[in-house]
Amino acid sequence: MEDIITITVKDRDGEMHKLEAPTDMSFNLMEIIKAHDLPVEGTCGGMALCASCHCYVKSNHELSEPSEDEEDMLDQAFFVEDNSRLSCQIKITEELEGLEIELAPVND
């Protein structure tokens, strides 16, 4: 279908998951990952207020720059790298076809 893209997510055990995501329902990436029952908390519900959906962007897709709010929240996250993002702040659009991400480790 035209308005469905495929995203690859590497979970914390190194397993790869191909997820389908509709582009016309204003989902964000965290919601898609959660909907597929992958272990992302999304505690704050997508407000960039908890960092529990921290992931690494592995492919070369051009994403919108993180907002100041997102950067601020990443300051409270751990294992932060240059390619770190909060998946709740990434809107699902057709440009993201083939996106590859990896879930960041959690510190428990």
Partner 1 sequence: MIKTDILIVGAGPCGLFAVFEAGLLKLRCHLVDALPQVGGQLSEIYPKKPIYDIPGFPSILAGDLVDNLMEQIKPFKPTFTLGERLETIEQTGDKEYTATTNKGTQIQAPVIAIAGGLGCFEPRKPPIENLANFEDKGVDYIVKDPEKFRGKKLLIAGGGDSALDWTIELASVAKDITLIHRRSSFRGALDSVDKVMALANEKKINLITEAQAVGVNGNGVLKEVIIKSKSNGEFALEVDNFIPLFGLSPKLGPIADWGLSINRSAIEVNTEDYSTNKEGIYAIGDINTYPGKLKLILCGFHEGTLMVQSAFKYIYPDQKLSFKYTTVTGITGVE
CA distances from 90 to 13, 70, 87 (A): 23, 10, 5
Residues 82-101 that bind partner 1 (CB under 8 A): none
- Mark the segment that binds partner 1 (CB under 8 A) among 1-9, 21-29, 49-57, 86-94: 49-57
Cα 26 from Cα 24, distance rounded (Å) = 6
Q: Residue 16 or 79: which CB sits closer to partner 1?
A: 79
By CB under 8 A, how many residues form the interface with partner 1? 18
Stretch of 4-12, 16-24, 27-35, 68-76 lying at the interface with partner 1 (CB under 8 A): 68-76
Under the binding rule (CB under 8 A), the answer on residue 76 touching partner 1 is yes
User: CB under 8 A: which stretch of 10-18, 26-34, 47-55, 90-98 binds partner 1?
Assistant: 47-55
DSSP secondary structure of 36-60: TT-S---TTSSSSSS-TTEEEE-S-
By CB under 8 A, name the binding residues for partner 1. 43-45, 47, 49-50, 52, 68, 71-72, 74-76, 78-80, 105, 107
